[in-house]
Structure 1
Amino acid sequence: MSSSDSSSDEEIILYQYYKHHLNKRRRKCWINPYIEKNVNCRLFVAAKELQESDSRFLAFYRMRKETYLQLKEIVCPALHYTDTNMRECVCPEERLLITLR
């Protein structure tokens, strides 16, 4: 392998690295306002607020509400657990939302 080959490889790698960082989306906020507002509440409360707006739901969960509802019908029966003396179980819908997020 000659030195010109290795330098061209380095240039390609550097270009790809530079291109990747240019295309990276800048975050508008470090913590999503829904999570920050509901620190003491469950994520499920925030999800109910998000379901009021299609665009917010899509941005937060990266899927349309219709797709989420279909997935919920398929998966939720397998995610159902019972409460114990120690604590309440997390409901299947909330488990799914946590997994998706």
Structure 2
Amino acid sequence: MEYVKLPSLITIIDSVDYFEQSEVFGEFFEDQIVNASTLLLSKSQFVDEEKIINIIDSLRQLNAKANIITKDWNKLSLNKLKLLLKKEKVDFQDIFYSQDDFSSKKEID
């Protein structure tokens, strides 16, 4: 028997409708999050900081180890996405969520 090995599993999360989709799709939805190596928040530029933080808190309850990308995905290069899929080492500091992302924004404003 042959097996296929996926080096990386990226799950795309709709930031606008995350909580509604979580309720509607339940276990199927959660399973996608639990098994992801990277969670990419789409439409993040259309929601406020507080909602992003609430989504991240919810995602962390389901998957504490996954990388979370909160940056506007229109600003991600194709090369970085390819490297992410291959799980190659690359500096993703500018795209991955860190707890300092939002606190530093508040200080600047």
Q: Compute the TM-score of the two structures, normalised by the length of structure 1.
A: 0.26
Q: Compute the TM-score of the two structures, normalised by the length of structure 2.
A: 0.25
- Hey, which of these two has a bigger chunk of strand by percent? 2
- Hey, which of these two has a bigger chunk of helix by percent? 1
